[in-house]
Amino acid sequence: MNSTAKLFETIELYDNIHLVLLSGKGGVGKTTLACAFARDWAKCFPDEQILLISTDPAHSLADVLQTPVSDTGSALADLPNLSARSLCAKTLLSEFKAKYGNFLEILVERGSFVEGEDLTPVWDLEWPGLDEIMGLLEIQRLLTEGEADRIVVDMAPSGHTLNLLAIKDFLDVVLNSLELFQEKHRAIAHSFRKTYTPDEIDRFLVEMKADLNRGRELLQDPTFTACSVVAIAEPMSWLETRRFVESLQQLSIPFSGLFVNQIAPENELDPDRYSEQQQLLAQFLDLSPNKTMFAIPEWQSEPVGGDALDALFSQIRPIEGVATAPEAIVEWPEPVPPQFDDFIAEGRQLILIGGKGGVGKTTVAAAIGWALANRYPDKNIRIISIDPAHSLGDAFGRDMGHEAREILPNLSGQEIDAQMMLEQFRTDYLWELAAMIGGESTEAGAVQLAYTPQAWRQIVAQALPGIDEMLSLIATIDLLEEHRQDLIILDTAPTGHLLRFLEMPSALADWLAWIFKLWMKYQNVLGRVELMGRLRTLRQKVVKAQKKLTDPSHTEFIGVTQGRSAIVSEHLRLSESLKTMGVCQRYLVHNRYSDLGEINANLFPEQKIIRLPVLPRSVEPIARVRGAAKLLF
């Protein structure tokens, strides 16, 4: 291999670029590396403005930097040229509305039957994919306006990062559709005046297209942007990283290399862990042989605060080769009381497993499903993953997909395919809804109002991230209502997107209420009574799903955390949010428990802490699931 072909052969060569995106599986240390990276840049370039931003709804910058971080940005006390900022999607939407809202309302009015005042309530509704849309728009604004000389972005976990990066294609289609709305206006104006003078809307469209194109160019320019993937030497991280790198290449995002975190030294006391680590490091090296892989050493204490982050960054080294390690002797831990109660005997039908990315949610979900399926062979149990970066198949060591796959005769697994869910939703509702909003009608004698139905079909053909998870919840409730499953266990997305998922029933109900209000106003022109009937049925399902989520006799939320302070802090915020939503949470799983690091039970006074000890590594995935099941019940 010709090492000179590597663009980032040493960590110092990252100094030649201006934008670093850091992502990967949840819980691998993305935020820690992002903070350390930004601090190093601030020291290397004291005359430049460095900006560190987080696009993850579950922001952790403050936990790692050990200083308050807001959505407006603030300079660090010891590095005044470094500002840290946690993006707030709702604040960004308000700013976007103030700047562009009038233009967009005029455009939609020109491309549909609605009046401008009909659109005003839309700005106050919860939007699916709002975090991804506003995050990408803000990154592109920062790049095009040159607000900072260098930017480090702490991205959401890999599945939602891919959603964000793919939004650029969605925005292109939306702009093209808005252009069709304006083309209709131009044609009408020309037919009356025999001429057309460009107006402020034309200028808006030109500027938006130019900004998006410039942002796209910078995001895809390998001399300006580096997207680095953070991982740890564990099987599920390796599998997700491999899929993530392949997806980055499909999106034409410049993948610059890997940072493998928490590398144990050769004298690691746990030979089982060291043996697995060395095998996986060799696989990571083979993943991208023309990219440099960097090792970040494991610290016994958490690297938080400026001094620790600077010390950590100084210890990052490239990995050229990997020494082999002997196979380890497998030793299973003993159960640590207390254990779970019997969810089926208690009448639970839906269990949500949630927490920060990388804490072991999928393993816990798989173990609960396995234990209860063996205890109740006459009950049908299904584990469903709604995280865009699915790991359920990895946990069981077998392929899984959108259609349920049998694991045991009464236990099945399913990884929701967002595109398939959305395609069905389009077929059931959205194509016809787009035709209605665009003014098309199948009713006899109805007036055809729109010149540009193609534009609305283009918009509907796109997918806002988040709506698929909502549809998954409705499908889950249907399975239970129709008695096709006795218990469903949902393996959810990491914290920030889990909260968005739980808010989605209310958001979708509000959107449907807005559509009904529009239809009532224009029903004499629109017709489509049958469509409205189906949408009312959908809203009833949404409201029922919302009620089921907060019914403690029906739904149980089980949090998963680990002993590190940053992880516990994030789970505390999650627990408070769930309490506000009225979601029942009786249990908290302390994964990778050891008697050297107890979680302070006073932090979670209303929850029973279930301790899941560190599991052996040198075993098959299904053996880990079986072992975890025995330890939890």
pLDDT in tens, 353-398: 999 888 999 999 999 999 999 999 999 999 999 887 788 999 999 9
Mean pLDDT of 454-474: 69
Q: Which residue has the higher pLDDT, 372 or 212?
A: 372
pLDDT score of 63? 92
Q: What angle do CA 245, 92, 512 make, to 5 degrees?
A: 90
Which of the listed CATH numbers 3.40.50.150, 3.30.2270.10, 1.10.12.10, 3.40.50.300 matches domain 18-318? 3.40.50.300
Q: What is the DSSP letter of 469?
A: H
Count Cβ atoms within 10 A of the Cβ of residue 198 and give its class: 0-12 exposed, 13-18 middle, 19 or more buried. exposed
Query: Tokens 């798989």 correspond to what residue?
Result: 366
pLDDT score of 454? 67
Q: Which residue has the higher pLDDT, 228 or 454?
A: 228
What whole-number percentage of the chain has pLDDT above 90?
Answer: 44
Mean pLDDT of 97-111: 84
Confidence of residue 7 (pLDDT cuts 50, 70, 90): very low
Q: What angle do CA 140, 142, 144 make, to 5 degrees?
A: 65
pLDDT score of 220? 87
Tokens of 602: 């006073």
- Angstrom distance (rounded) from CA 180 to CA 196: 16
pLDDT score of 421? 82
Of the listed ranges 257-266, 434-443, 447-456, 566-575, the least confidently predicted one is: 447-456
Amino acid, res. 418: A
Q: Which residue has the higher pLDDT, 53 or 185?
A: 53
Closest CA to 266 of 311, 319, 312, 325: 325
Q: Which residue has the higher pLDDT, 261 or 135?
A: 261
Residue 435 has pLDDT above 90, yes or no: no
Q: Which residue has the higher pLDDT, 290 or 368?
A: 368
pLDDT score of 344? 97
Residue 102 has pLDDT above 70, yes or no: yes
Conformational region of residue 466, where left means phi above 0, alpha means psi within -120 to 50, and beta covers everything else = left
Mean pLDDT of 156-166: 81
Sheet (strand 411-415) strand order: 405-408, 411-415, 381-385, 487-491, 350-354, 555-561, 587-593, 608-613
Confidence of residue 162 (pLDDT cuts 50, 70, 90): confident
pLDDT in tens, 547-587: 888 999 999 999 999 998 888 999 999 999 999 999 999 99
- Angstrom distance (rounded) from CA 233 to CA 260: 7
**Bridge partners, residue 227, by sequence:** 21, 255
Mean pLDDT of 62-74: 92
- Say if 18-318 and 344-416+466-517+537-632 have the same CATH topology: yes
pLDDT score of 249? 86
Residue 214 has pLDDT above 90, yes or no: no
Q: Which residue has the higher pLDDT, 463 or 292?
A: 292
Confidence of residue 269 (pLDDT cuts 50, 70, 90): low
Sheet (strand 50-54) strand order: 74-75, 82-86, 50-54, 150-154, 19-24, 225-232, 255-263, 293-297, 317-319
Fold assignment, 344-416+466-517+537-632: Rossmann fold (3.40.50)
What whole-number percentage of the chain has pLDDT above 70?
Answer: 92
Mean pLDDT of 23-27: 88
Mean pLDDT of 94-121: 80
pLDDT score of 229? 95
Mean pLDDT of 480-507: 85
C-alpha dihedral sign at 324, 593, 574, 128? positive
Conformational region of residue 87, where left means phi above 0, alpha means psi within -120 to 50, and beta covers everything else = beta
pLDDT in tens, 407-430: 999 999 999 887 788 888 888 888
The residue extents of the domains of the chain are 18-318, 344-416+466-517+537-632
